[in-house]
Amino acid sequence: MANDVRDPDESDDAKKTRELIAENIRRIEEMLRFLPLSDGAVADLRTKIALLRTILLEQRPPAFALVGRRGAGKSSMVNALFGAKVAEVGHVRSQTGRGRWFDHKSERGAISVLDTRGIQEGSAPAEADGAKDAIASIVVELKRKVPDVILFLVKATEADSAIDADLDALERVYAEIEREHRFRPPLVAIATHCDVLEPKATRLHCADEEPKEEVDEKIARVAEVEHHLETKIKERGKLGPHLVWTRGVSTYLSFKDDAVRADERWRIDELVTTLFKHLPDAGRGTFVRIARVRGLQEELASNLTRATAAICAGVAALPIPVADVIPITTMQVSLIAGIAWLSGRPLDRKAAAEFLGAMGANVGAGFALREGARALIKFVFPGAGSMVSGAVAFAGTLAVGAAARAYFLRGASIEDAKRAFERKKNEEDVASSSPPSDRDRWNIN
Ligand SMILES: Nc1nc2c(ncn2[C@@H]2O[C@H](COP(=O)(O)OP(=O)(O)O)[C@@H](O)[C@H]2O)c(=O)[nH]1
Ligand SMILES: [Mg+2]
């Protein structure tokens, strides 16, 4: 899949930071063979290193194919995922021409979208090139790149009328992908425009403020639509097995001069969570930055933290001279930069410097990763010489990760971040002061 795109607008600092992290990860990998660990433990560390590399260095835009007729809400869906105006909605001819993969961008990243509009319009095509061309171009595009997930969109108000042509189109898309890539992407079926179901005036996006009975009535209608949609899809043997989620949503956002004027989105967080679940790691980092669902940012950040902690503990198991603590704290600085990045900040040293400075480490904004690493030693491992035990490296890394998550993802004050750091560190210290020992914990031979 040729969808690994490096952002051409990436700053020099970001490039440099990437290179440093890449270099550091390479070093750590080289150390692996010196580690006194079992094969199983080494394999486990390799998996964790691969995760770090994928999240920090090998991100690409997630790729979604949107299937649904004109007006189903495909462009609105793209805007709803971003929470901003990135796609033209309504009767505007798309800037992409027909049936092309297109990267919708914001400063937080890009989502690659294949808008298959026109594919089901066997008759009366609105555009001069017609349905045949639409199909031909979509087939070409599906060859070029395989979608991670397919989103099938139907207007809730039209779900029980003629969706057979749409389902034919969807089958067609699956057949092409299957033939070309031997892969069947997960299918997410969405009923859009749920906000306009009866009772029309009842607002689902602020259901707490609405009469309960009316909300219940509206949600019951949504459930009916979902049931119908799901049944229709499951009737098709070629589609049913790939269906992972069916839900009614509202993508409604109104813009004025490109700024959000009204946000009436409903259940988009749930949708984002589902899409996240079905994305490969290479698309997940970008996706959580764009969609900004806190829980998912947290999930990825804690995966990153745990992986880094395990790697640091592994490095700490090395006898000197290789095992001075610099590689460990360098990994921790990378972790801070990574968590800042997941929060939407650029992947550069500025965010890490800000965090380290606020925590009390003395670093300039343009610090070298190693300098940051040295500064970090003082407060992660106070009193330690050049040797730290695996357990202490593990606890220290979890604590750094906890503080960075509090600061960047929850917008905690630096005081709170410090408290999160101390709390985590103490928890882990207590946990590691009694068995299991380093040896048990890391399967050390
Ligand atoms: N009320 C409401 N309007 C929507 C929703 N989704 C899309 N729309 C509107 O439906 C029209 C068509 O949407 P658009 O995203 O351009 O559909 P596309 O042709 O599939 O790209 C636009 O006027 C949108 O504002 C929704 O969930 N609720
Ligand atoms: Mg559109």
- Tens-digit pLDDT profile for residues 98-148: 678 999 999 999 999 999 877 776 544 455 455 677 778 888 999 999 999
Residue 252 Cβ inside 6 Å of ligand 1? The answer reads yes
The answer on 107 and 47 residing in a single domain is no
The answer on 335 and 215 residing in a single domain is no
Residue 89 Cβ inside 6 Å of ligand 1? The answer reads yes
The answer on 305 and 234 residing in a single domain is no
**Which atom, in ligand 1's list, is nearest to the CA of 250?**
27
pLDDT value of residue 436: 40
Q: Which of 188, 301, 308, 204 is nearest to 250 (CA)?
A: 204
Domain assignment present for 140: yes
The answer on 307 and 272 residing in a single domain is no
Domain assignment present for 296: yes
pLDDT band at 315 (very low <50, low <70, confident <90, very high): confident
The answer on 162 and 258 residing in a single domain is yes
Domain assignment present for 166: yes
72 Cα to the center of ligand 1, angstroms: 6
| CA-CA-CA-CA torsion sign (260, 263, 269, 270) | negative
pLDDT value of residue 34: 84
Ligand 1: residue whose CA is nearest its atom 26: 193
The answer on 220 and 95 residing in a single domain is yes
The answer on 342 and 194 residing in a single domain is no
Task: Looking at mean pLDDT, say which of 24-38, 95-109, 181-195, 305-319 comes out highest.
Answer: 181-195
Ligand 1: residue whose CA is nearest its atom 22: 90
The answer on 251 and 116 residing in a single domain is yes
Q: Domain of residue 27: give its range.
A: 12-59+292-442
Ligand 1: residue whose CA is nearest its atom 8: 73
Q: Which of 400, 379, 444, 369 is nearest to 27 (CA)?
A: 369
pLDDT band at 359 (very low <50, low <70, confident <90, very high): confident
Ligand having the closest approach to the CA of 96: 2
43-47: which pairs have CB atoms within 8 A and are 24 or more residues apart? 44/310, 45/310, 45/311, 45/314
Average pLDDT over residues 383-396: 75
Domain assignment present for 197: yes
pLDDT value of residue 84: 95
Between 163 and 445, where is the model more confident? 163
**Whole-number Å distance between alpha carbons of 151 and 137:** 19
The answer on 393 and 248 residing in a single domain is no
| pTM (two decimals) | 0.89
The answer on 91 and 55 residing in a single domain is no
Ligand 1: residue whose CA is nearest its atom 9: 73
pLDDT value of residue 129: 52
Task: Tell me the residues surrounding ligand 2 (ion) with CB < 5 Å.
Answer: 74-75
Average pLDDT over residues 422-427: 83
pLDDT reading at 192 higher than 60: yes
Q: Residue 71, Cβ neighbours under 10 Å: how many?
A: 17
What angle (nearest 5°) sits at the alpha carbon of residue 423, between those of residues 420 and 427?
A: 140
Ligand 1: residue whose CA is nearest its atom 14: 73
Q: What is the pLDDT of residues 266-298, one digit of tens each?
A: 999 999 999 999 999 999 999 999 999 999 999
Total structural domains within the chain: 2
Residue 193 Cβ inside 6 Å of ligand 1? The answer reads yes
pLDDT value of residue 131: 64
**The last residue of a domain, from among 278, 301, 333:** 278
Mapped to the 3 state alphabet, what secondary structure does the chain carry?
Answer: CCCCCCCCCCCHHHHHHHHHHHHHHHHHHHHHCCCCECHHHHHHHHHHHHHHHHHHHCCCCCEEEEECCCCCCHHHHHHHHHCCCCCCCCCCCCCCCCCCEEEEEECCEEEEEEECCCCCCCCCCCCCCHHHHHHHHHHHHHHHCCCCEEEEEEEHHHCCCCCHHHHHHHHHHHHHHHHHHCCCCCEEEEEECHHHCCCCCCCHHHHHHCCHHHHHHHHHHHHHHHHHHHHHHHCCCCCHHHEEEEEECECCEEEECCEEEEECCECHHHHHHHHHHCCCHHHHHHHHHHHCCHHHHHHHHHHHHHHHHHHHHHHHCCCCCCCCCHHHHHHHHHHHHHHHHHCCCCCCHHHHHHHHHHHCCCCCCCCCHHHHHHHHHHHHCCCCCCCCCHHHHHHHHHHHHHHHHHHHHCCCCHHHHHHHHHHHHHHHHHHHHCCCCHHHHHCEC
Residue 118 Cβ inside 6 Å of ligand 1? The answer reads no
The answer on 333 and 249 residing in a single domain is no
The answer on 144 and 221 residing in a single domain is yes
Residue 251 Cβ inside 6 Å of ligand 1? The answer reads yes
pLDDT band at 369 (very low <50, low <70, confident <90, very high): low
Ranking 3-7, 84-88, 218-222, 377-381 by mean pLDDT, the lowest is 3-7
Ranking 6-10, 34-38, 220-224, 425-429 by mean pLDDT, the lowest is 6-10
Check: CB of residue 372 under 8 Å from CB of residue 268: no
Q: Which residue has the tokens 């928890």?
A: 427
Check: CB of residue 198 under 8 Å from CB of residue 218: yes
The domain that holds 152 is classified in CATH as 3.40.50.300
Q: Residue 4, Cβ neighbours under 10 Å: how many?
A: 10
Instruction: Report residue 340 as tokens.
Output: 């800042």
Average pLDDT over residues 346-372: 77
**Whole-number Å distance between alpha carbons of 407 and 415:** 9
Q: Which residue has the tokens 């049944």?
A: 231
Instruction: Report residue 84 as tokens.
Output: 């901003």
pLDDT reading at 373 higher than 90: no
351 Cα to the center of ligand 2, angstroms: 37
Q: What percent of the chain has pLDDT over 70?
A: 84
